[in-house]
């Protein structure tokens, strides 16, 4: 991928200043992605995409203007459109661009092995996911989808306050949905891995784990309705954390659309848990040296020992609250202005001494459910925290797994769920940019 021209960015910035902008920012991004899906030992989908473009954001008299293009030759029109947009916008005293925020943290986000990976090798790796799943057990009869993606990108951000940052990233992922059949019964199992480094992805392992999940659910029975203890495995715990991730955005709080509004300093979840957002974790998909405004990323402690400490900010929301940006500006590409988003958001034990071997969690259950899969998580309300989701997994009695379980329902409020966490496993894992360990939770209504 060709480098992004720094001189071109400077030319746009200068043109915006000459046109009358009080502040101006140029954002340039190139992205190349190879996506592969295989099924029944054949390539089902092979997509290659390359996108390159730029946007300009200006502030004039407190009014915000924005425009973008993919054609470098259209730069004069882009500057003009941004000025016209500002002329018709409402003034807002909080509009403004960030000042220089210091140097970036030393974070590893670029893998030369991914940058030079041949297309044929990428395809072979995705085939390996399906092959491993089928070979692991004869009861794996169908593969719904085995997929891999391989991405490299380059970003440059320059603004009139002296910010000028440039970095490159890589990313890859592997996932599969495998189906196990026995008699007239079928069960599905899913697995996923993602990283900025090729060596972190065990393509065959993804296939094997998905197959094991599917097979382990064969023979599942309905469970009795009870109030008992559950274990959320790390993938399910990450799903729940993802639901209320938006509530930790200062934008949601300022718009009164967050369950955490007005609760800074209060204990809102169990004191054995902390929640952190960090863009500095080596190889994680949400890591990068700067956010999408050119502000250096950081590690932000959001909840410590269950107590809410603060929120995630970009420049605009930080100015509204009179605080500094946490480096959490995100964009969906050149076509959008920065909003607030997580980098790598994760939940973990608030003290290392509070972690226990995940394999020992079941031994603490007299009667309850190990949840390995949810259905309907998208219906959970991220503002109120209310949820009611279908779950499957394994029924536990007297500390031992006794049978696979299906068609159960758990419901309640996510904050209450996390307030009832009693034990934290030692298996923290990230699914995309959301991470969690397995959690043992008491006093949960289980409907059979």
**431 and 420 Cβ atoms separated by less than 8 Å:** no
CA angle 309, 314, 320 (to 5 degrees): 80
**Confidence (pLDDT) at 146:** 97
Q: Is 13 left (phi over 0), alpha (psi -120 to 50) or beta?
A: alpha
**Mean pLDDT to the nearest integer, 291-313:** 97
**pLDDT, tens digit (0-9, with 9 covering 90-100), for 154-171:** 999 999 999 999 999 999
**pLDDT, tens digit (0-9, with 9 covering 90-100), for 380-408:** 998 999 999 999 999 999 999 999 999 89
**Pair of tokens at residue 10:** 């400077």
Please, what are the domains in the chain?
A: 6-216 (3.30.2290.10), 221-447 (no CATH)
Q: How far apart are CA 147 and CA 206, in angstroms?
A: 11
- 434-to-245, 278, 321 alpha-carbon distances in Å: 9, 11, 26
Largest CA distance in the chain: 75
pLDDT at 279 > cutoff 90: yes
Phi then psi dihedrals of residue 418, to 5 deg: -75, -20
**Mean pLDDT to the nearest integer, 176-184:** 96
pLDDT at 1 > cutoff 70: no
**Mean pLDDT to the nearest integer, 251-277:** 96
* Half-sphere exposure in the Cβ direction for 136 (13 Å, CA): 26
**Confidence (pLDDT) at 2:** 46
Q: How far apart are CA 139 and CA 132, in angstroms?
A: 13
Exposed (0-12), middle (13-18) or buried (19+): which is 184, by Cβ within 10 Å? exposed
pLDDT at 43 > cutoff 60: yes
pLDDT at 352 > cutoff 80: yes
**pLDDT, tens digit (0-9, with 9 covering 90-100), for 53-103:** 999 999 999 999 999 999 999 999 999 999 999 999 999 999 999 998 777
Phi then psi dihedrals of residue 319, to 5 deg: -65, -35
**86 and 96 Cβ atoms separated by less than 8 Å:** no
CA angle 244, 246, 247 (to 5 degrees): 65
Q: Is 264 helix (H, G, I), strand (E, B) or coil?
A: coil
Q: Is the pTM of this model over 0.85?
A: yes
Q: How far apart are CA 48 and CA 129, in angstroms?
A: 20
Show Cβ contacts of residue 18 under 8 Å, excluding neighbours closer than 6 positions.
none
- 274-to-374, 380, 393, 424, 435 alpha-carbon distances in Å: 23, 22, 26, 11, 12
Q: How far apart are CA 85 and CA 92, in angstroms?
A: 14
**Confidence (pLDDT) at 3:** 55
**Pair of tokens at residue 208:** 């094997």
Q: Is 389 helix (H, G, I), strand (E, B) or coil?
A: strand
Strands 345-349 and 434-436 come out as: parallel
295-306 per-residue burial string, b: 16 or more CB within 10 A, e: under 16: bbbbebebbeeb
**Mean pLDDT to the nearest integer, 18-39:** 97
**375 and 293 Cβ atoms separated by less than 8 Å:** no
Q: How far apart are CA 363 and CA 397, in angstroms?
A: 9
């Amino acid at each position: 991928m060709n480098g992004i021209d720094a001189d071109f960015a400077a030319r746009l910035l200068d043109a915006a200043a000459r046109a009358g902008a009080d502040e101006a920012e140029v954002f340039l991004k190139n992205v190349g992605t190879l996506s592969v899906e295989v099924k029944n030992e054949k390539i089902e989908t092979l997509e290659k995409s390359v996108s390159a473009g730029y946007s300009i954001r200006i502030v004039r008299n407190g009014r915000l203007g924005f425009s973008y293009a993919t054609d470098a030759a259209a730069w004069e029109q882009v500057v003009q459109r941004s000025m016209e947009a500002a002329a018709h916008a409402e003034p807002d005293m909080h509009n403004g661009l960030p000042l220089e925020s210091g140097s970036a943290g030393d974070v590893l986000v670029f893998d030369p092995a991914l940058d030079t990976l041949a297309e044929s090798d990428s395809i072979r790796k995705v085939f390996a996911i399906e092959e491993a799943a089928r070979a692991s057990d004869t009861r794996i009869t169908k593969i719904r989808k085995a997929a891999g993606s391989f991405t490299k990108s380059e970003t440059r951000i320059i603004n009139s306050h002296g910010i000028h940052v440039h970095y490159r990233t890589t990313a890859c992922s592997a996932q599969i949905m495998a189906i196990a059949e026995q008699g007239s019964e079928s069960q599905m199992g899913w697995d996923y891995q993602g990283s900025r480094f090729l060596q972190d992805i065990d393509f065959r392992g993804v296939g094997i784990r998905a197959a094991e999940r599917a097979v382990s659910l064969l023979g599942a029975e309905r469970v009795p309705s009870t109030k008992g203890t559950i274990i959320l495995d790390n993938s399910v715990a990450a799903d729940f954390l993802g639901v209320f991730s938006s509530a930790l955005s200062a934008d949601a709080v300022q718009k009164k659309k967050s369950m955490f509004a007005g609760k800074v300093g209060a204990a809102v979840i169990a004191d054995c848990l902390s929640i952190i957002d960090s863009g500095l974790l080596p190889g994680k998909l949400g890591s990068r040296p700067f956010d999408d405004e050119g502000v250096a990323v950081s590690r932000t402690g959001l909840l410590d020992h269950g107590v809410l400490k603060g929120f995630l900010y970009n420049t605009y929301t930080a100015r509204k609250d009179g605080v500094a940006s946490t480096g959490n500006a995100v964009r969906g590409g050149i076509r959008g202005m920065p909003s607030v988003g997580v980098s790598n958001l994760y939940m973990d034990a608030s003290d290392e001494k509070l972690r226990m071997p995940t394999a020992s969690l079941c031994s603490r259950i007299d009667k309850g459910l190990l949840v390995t899969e949810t259905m309907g998580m998208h219906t959970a309300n991220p503002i109120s925290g209310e949820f009611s989701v279908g779950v499957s997994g394994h029924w536990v009695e007297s500390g031992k797994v006794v049978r696979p379980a299906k068609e159960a329902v758990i419901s309640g409020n996510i904050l209450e769920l996390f307030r009832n966490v009693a034990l934290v496993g030692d298996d923290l894992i990230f699914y995309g940019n959301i991470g969690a360990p397995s959690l043992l939770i008491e006093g949960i209504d289980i409907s059979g």
